[in-house]
């Protein structure tokens, strides 16, 4: 082997130092960069899991009459936490099975209210009407009121929001 072949295959001290510095810099960048990206992107990548929201005692629900429950829940969007009012109508016909319905009209998102003398829900925005069970009886709403999964534990009513 000639001298020039040995010089081409050997790594000089200067090139070795360059490669070492680049390697160490890459490790430091990865050590700080990967956790930083995870910290910034974490909230956006979280999957929304339905949470059970406590409404109140089942004794508040009158048989055959939808009862409005209101509660305040904290909602986190990214890094912002806000308090949000959550309202739901609960109906029972037998005191055992409970139907939880949204109080938001399925047409344009206005709030519906129970009108006892008409035995139904009414949306004042565009005259949407719903039966006691949430089905559409008139107006422009395209579908019944949204429903929530519900459960009772120790005479306390919960709904699942998700």
The number of beta carbons lying within 10 Å of the beta carbon of residue 101 is 23
Q: Largest Cα–Cα distance of the chain, in whole Å?
A: 106
**Residues 64, 77: contact at Cβ < 8 Å?**
no
Cβ(98)–Cβ(56) below 8 Å: no
For the question of whether the overall pTM of this predicted structure is more than 0.85, the answer is: no
Residue 109 CA: distances (Å) to CA of 61, 75, 114, 117 = 25, 19, 16, 24
Q: How far apart are CA 28 and CA 162, in angstroms?
A: 40
Q: What is the pLDDT of residues 89-141, one digit of tens each?
A: 988 888 788 888 988 888 888 888 888 888 889 988 888 889 888 888 888 88
């Amino acid at each position: 082997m000639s001298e020039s072949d040995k010089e081409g295959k050997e790594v000089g001290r200067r090139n070795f130092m360059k490669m070492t510095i680049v390697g160490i810099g890459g490790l430091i960048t990865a050590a700080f960069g990967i956790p930083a990206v995870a910290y910034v992107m974490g909230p956006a990548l979280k999957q929304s899991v339905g949470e059970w929201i406590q409404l109140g005692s089942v004794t508040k629900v009158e048989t055959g009459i939808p009862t409005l429950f209101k509660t305040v829940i904290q909602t986190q969007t990214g890094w912002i936490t806000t308090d949000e009012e959550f309202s739901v109508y609960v109906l029972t016909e037998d005191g055992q099975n409970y139907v939880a319905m949204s109080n938001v009209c399925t047409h344009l998102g206005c709030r519906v209210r129970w009108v006892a003398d008409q035995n139904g829900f009414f949306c004042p925005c565009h005259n949407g009407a719903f039966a006691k069970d949430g089905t559409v009886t008139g107006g422009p709403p395209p579908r019944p009121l949204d429903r929530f999964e519900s459960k009772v534990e120790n005479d306390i009513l919960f709904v699942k929001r998700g």
